[in-house]
Amino acid sequence: MVETSEQVRPLAPSADRPTSSDDEESAAVSTGIRRKRFIKCCGCAAALLLIQAVIIVILIFTLFRVRDPIIRMNGVTVARLDLISGTNTPRPGSNMTLNADVSVKNPNYASFKYQNTTTVLYYRGVVIGEARGPAGRARARRTMRMNVTVDVITDRILSQPDLGSDVNSGLLSMSTFTRVGGRVKMLIVNRHVTVTMNCSMTVNITSQGIQHQKCKRTVKL
């Protein structure tokens, strides 16, 4: 009997051969892993978006919240007042000039752009002078100061029946009304603000200085 040099290799056991059910199980496992990874990625992305939204909301209501500008009447001085010689009576036909030191404080983290300012002066409820200041911009968290010159028409003061008693006392009771309108723009927030201020004061005719000043501020959105 002749022996062959080639040896016949035994066939692999049928149990070791991959079957279609094993392929389906592996595919299902792989699909499940990919699905879990996808869900985790979506969850992480949603969490990041939620955190960002919360941070933006917090900033809008804290750091980026639009605050009302503050207007102040720091002082008023009498720059010119012509009196009749030897009296406390203003000279007819002359003008009295007042210099008002007005400041606009911007507490926001964005600039406040305001329009022309208006200051009206009253004596006994009658308008005796008016002045307009130029438009400007108050930088973020800064205070803008301006000097407003008010020319007072003394003839309107002389026409008041109570002037004699006021002159004898050496004091003139006056009031001012100042209006500043502007806009604060921060991110997507664009807010228009109008600040008004009413001040009552007493002018000393002899010293030409201001005594007893009281102001009240209001804000209109």
The DSSP secondary structure of the chain, one letter per residue, reads -PPPSSPPPPPPPGGGS--HHHHHHHHHHHHHHHHHHHHHHHHHHHHHHHHHHHHHHHHHHTTT-----EEEEEEEEEEE--B-TTSSSBPTT-EEEEEEEEEEE--SSS-EEE--EEEEEEETTEEEEEEEEPPEEEPTT-EEEEEEEEEEEHHHHHT-TTHHHHHHHTEEEEEEEEEEEEEEEETTEEEEEEEEEEEEEEEETTTTEEEEEEEEEEEE-
From 42, 63, 84, give the residue that closes a domain: 63
Residues 121 and 199 in one domain: yes
Prediction pTM value:
0.62
pLDDT at 202: 86
Residues 148 and 56 in one domain: no
Residues 57 and 78 in one domain: no
Residues 103 and 187 in one domain: yes
Residues 86 and 193 in one domain: yes
Residues 145 and 45 in one domain: no
For 73-121, write each residue's pLDDT tens digit: 777 777 777 776 776 667 777 777 888 888 888 888 888 888 888 889 8
pLDDT at 18: 54
Residues 48 and 117 in one domain: no
Residue spans of the chain under pLDDT 50: 1-2
Residues 114 and 195 in one domain: yes
- Total domains present in the chain: 2
From 32, 63, 94, give the residue that closes a domain: 63
pLDDT at 13: 53
Q: Is 175 contained in some domain?
A: yes
Residues 105 and 190 in one domain: yes
Residues 35 and 111 in one domain: no
Residues 25 and 123 in one domain: no
pLDDT at 74: 78
Residues 96 and 175 in one domain: yes
Domain holding 82, by residue range, is 70-220
pLDDT at 96: 77
